[in-house]
Amino acid sequence: MTREEKRVILASSAGTIFEWYDFYLYGSLAAIIGAQFFSSFPEATRNVFALLAFAAGFLVRPFGALFFGRLGDLIGRKHTFLMTILIMGASTFIVGLLPGYDTIGWAAPIILIALRMLQGLALGGEYGGAVVYVAEHAPHGRRGFFTSWIQTTATLGLLLSLMVILSVRTFVGEDAFKAWGWRVPFLLSIFLLAVSVWIRLQMEESPAFKKMKAEGTQSKAPLSEAFGQWKNAKFALIALFGLVAGQAVVWYTGQFYALFFLQTILRIDMFTANVLIAWSLILGTVGFVIFGSLSDRIGRKPIILAGCVLAAITYFPVFKTITSIASPALHAAQQNTKVTIVADKNDCSFQFNPTGTAKFTSSCDVTKALLARSSVNYSVDYQPGAIPAKVKVGDAEIVAYETTKLSGDDVKAVPAAFAKAVNEKLAAAGYPAPGKAGEGAVKVEGFFGVFNGQAFPLVLILTYLVLLVTMVYGPIAAALVELFPTRIRYTGMSLPYHIGNGWFGGLMPATAFAMIAQSGDVYYGLWYPIVIALMTVVLGLLFVPENKDKDIFADDTR
């Protein structure tokens, strides 16, 4: 690389790392933030509001892609993603300063959700701008290598957010962190913002955009040209379903769902789970550059689709191995204890609840949710008229209740008694107590405490999942850039990217839990990424062109 090329990559990557860092902070601290800003509500409602604010950041990302993508194709790449970083940085810093509900009342949650929406809008415009800017500076035959540095930024942003949170939490203590220490990672972002803005102010506009502007070939209506004309809109659909959807679920599974699985399904303590994931990110991140560079030689499509195939083939054995190593007592109980729910099929719902606002109160639904949250593998015996449902744990049988026949205090008392009875039978069968990881579960005492016979194999397995992420994500930027002509490139690639990653990937935890509760198998949720990854393989093979040798500087008049 020349010195100028290094500056381009550094400026784009540093700013994008900062934006992902800001975006991930909220998700990592959602429960604590909920207690600060929604304190007039019960705990469950506070968490619902906090997760709604998190969802707002995902749902508005495609709108950010449209808004800033259009600007990027009209006024230039540099000015547009300078705007996005300022919006993201200011929003994040204000979250750190924002008074809680106890101080300013309803204004606190309203402002918080508005700031989350601004973050989502900014992120929707940032990624496309950074990728297009770097790709349009890259020499022919090296686009995959150059843009792969941008691909490291989402993972490095996640890693940075985890490291800062762990450091502050350790330094100030758990109680102080919940009271005020959670604000520190948000406030620190102002320094990252200052550095990122200073770097980006030194940048020049991309050569492709300057050439297009000098020739007067800019699009006057990027949105309608990109999505209103079938010759271009079809490539947005091809990009979404033939590349990004599969990439999104593999990316989300290898980083976020793995963390969700460790903490929620296996009930590993937060510090240990975060340290394990952090080490896997450290070890695996180099794969982005390796596979990005390799895509310049053998193509983008073979690597992305191969990553999807490997994920589909190996997810079940990999996650079962994680359970056996990380929580041997839970694994043994799942293997050795037969648990059955007897219920009327009409009394059962599919418990898809991405925002946490839906209520599932039938005896079947409450029973399924209780066992799913306890990481129990169970089968369901549907019998007409089996209301209320009942649970069989080995030879023991516990009858649930029918909520429609209850009123007043009994609605609260009976479920608690039922849950206690079920948990006692599960404990007698070898299942860990509610909220506990179980005997022999992996535990890390410090950041460098992973080098032992139990933790280090987990790090290696999690690193494999990250390497799958790097296979599908390392070449994706170059592949998307090459699908669209210069005049609508920013707009065209940003929308399918953020729909794929924000919606296909972002809905994974809620969808996986609903599938687990429905099936009674703690691994059944893996069918969600597997099916979508295989869909992408089929559609990618049929419809995605290989453009690694395409001249993106040429005027594409398709």
pLDDT tens profile 4-37:
888 888 888 887 888 788 778 877 787 788 778 8
Residue 413, pLDDT score: 44
H-state helical runs in 42-182: 43-59, 61-75, 77-97, 101-104, 107-135, 143-172, 174-176
Q: pLDDT tier at 438 (50, 70, 90 boundaries)?
A: confident
76-135: per-residue pLDDT in tens?
Answer: 888 887 898 899 889 989 999 999 888 888 888 889 888 888 888 888 888 888 888 888
Q: Cα(158)–Cα(24) distance, rounded to whole angstroms?
A: 6
- Is 90 exceeded by the pLDDT of residue 482? yes
Query: For 313, how many CA atoms within 13 A lie in the half-sphere containing its CB?
Result: 8
Q: What value does the mean pLDDT take over residues 145-153? A: 91
- Is 70 exceeded by the pLDDT of residue 403? no
Torsion of CA 535, 537, 543, 544, to 10 degrees: 130
C-alpha 322 chain-centroid distance:
20
Q: What long-range pairs does 51-54 form, CB within 8 A, spacing at least 24?
A: 51/355, 51/356, 52/113, 52/355, 52/356, 52/357, 53/26, 53/109, 53/112, 53/113, 53/116, 54/26, 54/27, 54/30, 54/116
CB contact at 8 A, 348 and 365: yes
CB contact at 8 A, 552 and 487: no
3-state secondary structure 483-512: CCCHHHHHHHHHHHHHHHHHHHHCCHHHHH
Q: What value does the mean pLDDT take over residues 403-427? A: 65
Residue 42, pLDDT score: 65
CATH number attached to the domain at 235-327+441-548: 1.20.1250.20
By percentage, how much of the chain surpasses pLDDT 90? 29
Average pLDDT of the chain, as a whole number: 85
Q: pLDDT tier at 412 (50, 70, 90 boundaries)?
A: very low
CB contact at 8 A, 16 and 153: yes
Q: What value does the mean pLDDT take over residues 317-339? A: 91
41-86: per-residue pLDDT in tens?
Answer: 665 565 566 666 666 667 788 888 889 988 888 888 888 878 988 9
271-307: per-residue pLDDT in tens?
Answer: 899 899 989 999 999 999 999 999 999 999 999 999 9
Pairing of strands 390-393, 396-399: antiparallel
- Is 90 exceeded by the pLDDT of residue 460? yes
C-alpha 120 chain-centroid distance:
13
C-alpha distances out from residue 449 to 99, 272, 388, 452, 459, Å: 37, 9, 48, 7, 11
Q: Which residues of 72-85 are buried (b: 16+ CB within 10 A; e: fewer)?
A: bbbebbbebbbbbb
How many beta carbons lie within 10 A of that of residue 351, not counting itself?
Answer: 18
Q: Give me the sign of the Cα torsion angle 50, 51, 57, 63.
A: negative
Residue 401, pLDDT score: 67
335-378: per-residue pLDDT in tens?
Answer: 888 899 998 888 888 877 665 556 777 888 888 888 888 888 89
CB contact at 8 A, 246 and 532: yes
CB contact at 8 A, 513 and 211: no
Q: Which residues pair with residue 380 across a beta bridge? A: 341
List of residues 6+ apart from 469 with CB closer than 8 A: 155, 250, 251, 254, 255, 284, 287, 307
How many beta carbons lie within 10 A of that of residue 158, not counting itself?
Answer: 23
List of residues 6+ apart from 309 with CB closer than 8 A: 533, 534, 537
> What is the strand order of the sheet 379-382 is part of?
379-382, 339-343, 390-393, 396-399
Whether 1-205 shares its CATH topology with 235-327+441-548 is answered yes
Q: pLDDT tier at 408 (50, 70, 90 boundaries)?
A: very low
Residue boundaries of the structural domains of the chain? 1-205, 235-327+441-548, 336-428
Quick one: which H or E segment has residue 382?
A: strand 379-382
List of residues 6+ apart from 74 with CB closer than 8 A: 218, 219, 222
Q: Cα(401)–Cα(22) distance, rounded to whole angstroms?
A: 45
CB contact at 8 A, 368 and 348: yes
Q: pLDDT tier at 405 (50, 70, 90 boundaries)?
A: very low
Look up residue 82 and give its amino acid.
L
List of residues 6+ apart from 399 with CB closer than 8 A: 388, 390
Q: Cα(223)–Cα(130) distance, rounded to whole angstroms?
A: 19
> Higher confidence at residue 233 or residue 56?
233
Residue 318, pLDDT score: 97
Quick one: which H or E segment has residue 377?
A: none
Residue 123, pLDDT score: 83
Q: Cα(257)–Cα(528) distance, rounded to whole angstroms?
A: 11
Residue 404, pLDDT score: 45
- Is 50 exceeded by the pLDDT of residue 491? yes
By percentage, how much of the chain surpasses pLDDT 70? 92
CATH number attached to the domain at 1-205: 1.20.1250.20
The model carries a pTM of 0.85
